[in-house]
Amino acid sequence: MNQALQNLKHSAIDWRMVLMAGVLVVITVIFNVLSEGIFFSAENLYNIAQQTAVVGILATVMVLIIVARHIDLSVGSVMGFVGVLIAFLMYTANWSWPAACLAGLAAAIAVALYQGALTAYVGVPSFVVTLGGLMSFRGAAYLVADGKTQPLTDAFFLKLGGGFNGGIGTTASWVLGVLISVGIIGSMLSKRAAKQRYDVPTNPFGLDLLLALIPVALVLGFVAVMNAYQIPGKDDAQGIPIPVLIWGAVAMFMSFLVHRTRFGRYVFAMGGNPDAAALVGIPVKRVTMLLFLLLAVLTTIAAIVAISRLNAGTNSLGNSLELLVIAATVIGGTALAGGSGTIIGSVLGALIMQCIDSGMLLLDVSIGTRYVIIGQVLIAAVVFDVAYRKWTGDVL
């Protein structure tokens, strides 16, 4: 028994993630009971999944920004600015959607170069730089189209935001689900093989298998639910919504950056001990700059998803989104002091927040009450974070 406990302790299980997943399950079950089964309907889960995508995409990169001891308060405004710009180029200037999106990306990169250079090279705290950006780029979002809403009609482009034709269909969803499952098992096996090759001790095979089967079950379960939602009057069920697909791809890419590249390691080292990072020769300024550029790319992707979900670009796009993104990141276990945080945590954090919000909406809770509660959830998450770190001895 004791040996089994030791194995569990030393295995790669992140107990904090397990706890958070537990919290998510409890919350959703409560809402399901209170809403008499509506919460767990395929339609509701489909909507929650695609509504969370924009916040979720941005939260994955906010994790790294906060880990590196920075913050970005301007992310909602910049997304609004880029979104309106793309919509404006498509609607008013008649550009094709790829050209408009590239122009949007260029604008986001210009913003990142400006804000990143101020932070990394001039040494202005990112809090100040992006607080200014929060206002300036909201203004810029207004200036682009003189405050006029820019409607979008391109059929392909509108799929990117989900909605009526925004699912990939049942067959493609199952194929994708199975491919991802095979990938998860395969990576587990290859990791074990590599460890054995270097004579590094491995977990018992059963434990590794169990740890791989949990995400596999989650992926296949998700596909099954998405395939169960059929909009009345359509021939096929929706399948995985494209925004969720984009979010998933972004989260996987970001996890890859964190775990497998120097860039990811340096971001964490800078957050853990900035002096040490500089003393061992990490190019701190360049890494900070790259971090802002990465943010620019993901902001553009989020902007594209957001305007296509809305079928339009408006100057209020992404209003106070920065708060939701930071809240999702923090609820997901990223320490505001820097140095610790996970991508998968941000995914859970975004889902927890969206589930609470949607659940209350289903129960007809007034908007005032919803804000009050979500604010307190954020505080509860930080209190939990502090308590958890004390308990494990990881006081930062």
Partner 1 sequence: MNTETHNAEAAAKRAKADPNKCLVELRNIKKAFGGVHAVDDVSLNLYPGEVVAVLGHNGAGKSTLMKMLAGAYPIDSGDVVINGEKTHIRTPADAQAVGIESIYQTLALADNLDSVANLFLGRELLTKWNTLDDHRMDAAGRKVFQRLNKNFKNYHTPVRRLSGGQRQVVAISRAIYFNAQILIMDEPTAALGPEETAMVAKLIEQLKAEGVGIFLISHDMHDVFALSDRLAVMKNGKLVGTYATKDVTEDEVLGMIILGKKPDGKQQTERSAR
Alpha helices (H) in the chain, listed in sequence order: 2-10, 15-34, 42-67, 75-91, 97-117, 126-144, 155-159, 170-197, 205-227, 242-260, 262-272, 274-279, 284-310, 321-331, 343-362, 367-392
- Give whichever of 43 and 394 is closer to partner 1, judged by the CB atom: 394
* Cβ-based nearer residue to partner 1, 36 or 199: 199
Buried b (16+ CB within 10 A) or exposed e, 135-163: ebbbebbbebbeeebbebeeeebbbbbbb
Please state the φ and ψ torsions of residue 241, each to the nearest 5 degrees.
-70, 140
Show the site string, 170-209: x = touches partner 1 by CB under 8 A, - = not. ------------------------xx-xxxx---------
Q: Is residue 339 close enough to count as binding partner 1 by CB under 8 A?
A: yes
The yes or no reply on residue 122 touching partner 1 (CB under 8 A) is no
Look up residue 233 and give its two tokens: 């009057």
| Contacts with partner 1, 276-305, as mask; x by CB under 8 A | xxxxxxx-----------------------
**In the complex, what is the shortest distance from the CB of residue 262 to partner 1, in angstroms, rounded to a whole number?**
6
Alpha-carbon radius of gyration of the chain: 22
Closest CA to 107 of 123, 87, 127: 87
> Based on CB atoms, which residue is closest to partner 1, 68 or 244?
68
CB of 260: closest distance to partner 1 in angstroms? 4
Instruction: Return the half-sphere exposure (C-beta side, CA atoms, 13 A cut-off) of residue 294.
Output: 24
Q: Which is nearer to partner 1, 197 or 233 (CB)?
A: 197
The smaller minimum CB distance to partner 1, of residues 8 and 194, is found at 194
If the CB atoms of residues 153 and 261 are measured against partner 1, the closer one turns out to be 261
155 or 279: CB nearest partner 1: 279
Nearer to partner 1 by C-beta: 132 or 274?
274
Token pair 């970005």 is found at 72
Report 202-221 residues binding partner 1 (CB under 8 A).
none
CB of 61 to partner 1, least distance (A): 19
Residue 333: CB minimum distance to partner 1, A: 13
- CA nearest to 323, candidates 58, 16, 139: 58
Partners of 151 in the β-ladder: 312
Q: Does 390 bind partner 1 (CB under 8 A)?
A: no
Site for partner 1 in 221-280 (CB under 8 A): 259-262, 265-266, 268-269, 271-273, 275-280
d(CA 264, CA 178): 29
What does DSSP say about strands 150-151 and 312-313: parallel, antiparallel, or unpaired?
Answer: antiparallel
Both tokens assigned to 306: 């957001």
Number of residues that bind partner 1 (CB under 8 A): 30
- Closest CB 14 distance from partner 1, rounded Å: 13
Site residues (CB under 8 A) for partner 1? 194-195, 197-200, 259-262, 265-266, 268-269, 271-273, 275-282, 339-340, 393-394, 396
